[in-house]
Structure 1
Amino acid sequence: MSLPRIMVAPNGATKTKADHPALPITLDEITETALACRAAGAGALHLHLRDDAEGHLLDTGAYREAQAHLRPRLGDMAIQITTEASGRYEPGHQRYVALNSGANMVSVSTREMLRDPEPLARKFYEEAAERGIAIQHILYSREDAEALARVLPDRLLQDPGLQLIFVMGRYVEGQVSTPAMLDPFLNWMQAEAITPDWAICAFGQGETACLRNALEKGGKARVGFENSLVMEDGSTARDNAARVAAIAAL
């Protein structure tokens, strides 16, 4: 399976309605948001769930229930679950959730996986591939990319179906992203002589400019309130669908 041109990430692990009243928290809100974003041009939903206290939740049962709820309602819109730690979960738990939640698309941070010894990460990546689970590897820096190349079996690294997402601005002061932040990743892919299925996400007001640059250079886009609440001109977005529509218009 391949990544859609646009994936929406509507909530993330930490934002609440105090950040934006249209940020979806409940499963019904996520469903409504996903449908609006599909109509605006998104081909996939990046799914985060919350517990009863609105905290970040990684739970196989909750993910299975959520997918059973979403799939008949979202039609052909793909669903990707997250395994983000968000300071709450260890790599062993993240691996278990990735492999046992019934999802065929999962995002996994290389940096988080490598908190455990490399052989455990390598075994996980191999098992996911054997089960037909498409792992989208989250990379925050060229160092992360080089670590992935070191730990990932060559047959998976060279596979044109390898899914990557490059993150712009997450660990920059003020979470300011710029299009030039893509360059180290492009250089790395050229150095490795790989042609993966890649996308980016970008934080802050620079989100649109970064996504435009990535689309022009052959990448794909993940957009939404997980990464930015504002339009390109700095105004607050009405909702996630407005952000999707802006990127779809590119």
Structure 2
Amino acid sequence: MRALPRIMVAPNGARLSKTDHPAIPLTLDEIVACARDCHAAGADGIHAHIRDADGQHLLDCARYRQLVSALKGAVPDLAVQITTEAVGRYDPATQMEVALNAGAEMVSVSIREICRADVSDVGRFFHQCRDTGIAVQHILYDRGDCELLGEVLAEDELHNPALQLLYVLGRYSENLQSTPSDLSPFVDWQASLNLTPDWAVCAFGKSEAVCLKAAAALGGKCRVGFENSLYLSDGSIAADNAEKVKDLRAILTRDEGASNQL
């Protein structure tokens, strides 16, 4: 029997607030409590954003170190990944500093954002992460981002099976809605270069679960949570992030059980 795809929860993101959903975790204590509940529901990792006192997106090494330490203490078996997302507030130099000095072993980096810096600085940054044991997940929004990544990475790096990629579906579509067909350009790009990366998908909107199911069927990992969608697979609003993890885990378990009977 094949193992179920790994699930990472993205519980808050950079933009949503309590007015969008009262269970959006914003404070350190709320994020830790959410992580504990999501791990119990079946999440293997957490993609974490932090906020300032006004609830605004924050990139800060000291605050991230506090969160990473708290998460490791409360949920030691849960992988912790932090974001370097700019959200129009931070430059590549700040993003790189946070990635290297926030105490996280896993970071996500948008290739289109980080490439606002000089290409030599970007290459040096990726090498620093590799040399210090920091796993970078490259965030890709479209085929153009894939090709940009191919220009930045050396051939051996691009073909390394340990290369971590996140394909984002629906972020720039009308009304932030994704469909499973949005995955095709990414899968086609992989196939065209004969790549076998460690890849995952997140999907915006009401079709999040359908898109993640499609990704899992192709061998991808799944990132689910309020950062991308407030909806469950049946179209209702989830009570919290843990319910979304449980919902997706049930779908993947059911599909795996059906495939094993064929």
Deviation at 1:231, TM superposition (A): 1.4
**After TM superposition, which residue ranges in structure 1, 4 or more long, deviate above 4 angstroms?**
none
The alignment's C-alpha RMSD in Å is 0.9
Is 1:82 the counterpart of 2:94 in the alignment? no
User: 2:76 and 2:65 mapped to 1: Cα distance?
Assistant: 17
Q: In structure 2, the residue corresponding to 1:20 is in which secondary structure?
A: coil
Match of 1:99? 100
Q: What code does the residue aligned with 2:70 have?
A: H
Match of 2:185? 184
Deviation at 1:238, TM superposition (A): 0.9
- Match runs of 1:113-124 below 5 Å: 113-124=114-125
- Match runs of 1:115-154 below 5 Å: 115-154=116-155
- Deviations along 1:186-233, one digit per CA (max 9) or x if unpaired, are 010111111000000000001000000000000000000000001123
- Deviations along 1:132-176, one digit per CA (max 9) or x if unpaired, are 110000000011001001101222211101100000000011011
Report how many residues are paired.
247
TM-score (norm 1): 0.97
User: 1:30 and 1:102 mapped to 2: Cα distance?
Assistant: 17
Q: What code does the residue aligned with 1:107 have?
A: S
- Match runs of 1:96-245 below 5 Å: 96-245=97-246
TM-score (norm 2): 0.92
- Match runs of 1:43-62 below 5 Å: 43-62=44-63
Q: Does the CA contact (< 8 Å) of 1:122 and 1:153 recur in 2?
A: no
Q: Does the CA contact (< 8 Å) of 2:215 and 2:221 recur in 1?
A: yes
| Identity percentage of aligned residues | 53
> Which structure 2 segments of 5+ residues have no match?
253-262
Q: In structure 2, the residue corresponding to 1:28 is in which secondary structure?
A: helix
Match of 2:259? none
Deviation at 1:117, TM superposition (A): 2.1
User: 1:113 and 1:154 mapped to 2: Cα distance?
Assistant: 19
User: 1:175 and 1:232 mapped to 2: Cα distance?
Assistant: 16
Q: Does the CA contact (< 8 Å) of 1:110 and 1:144 recur in 2?
A: yes
User: 1:232 and 1:76 mapped to 2: Cα distance?
Assistant: 27
Q: In structure 2, the residue corresponding to 1:107 is in which secondary structure?
A: strand
Q: In structure 1, the residue corresponding to 2:206 is in which secondary structure?
A: helix
User: 1:33 and 1:66 mapped to 2: Cα distance?
Assistant: 12
Match of 2:27? 26
Q: Does the CA contact (< 8 Å) of 1:176 and 1:204 recur in 2?
A: yes
Q: Does the CA contact (< 8 Å) of 2:35 and 2:71 recur in 1?
A: no
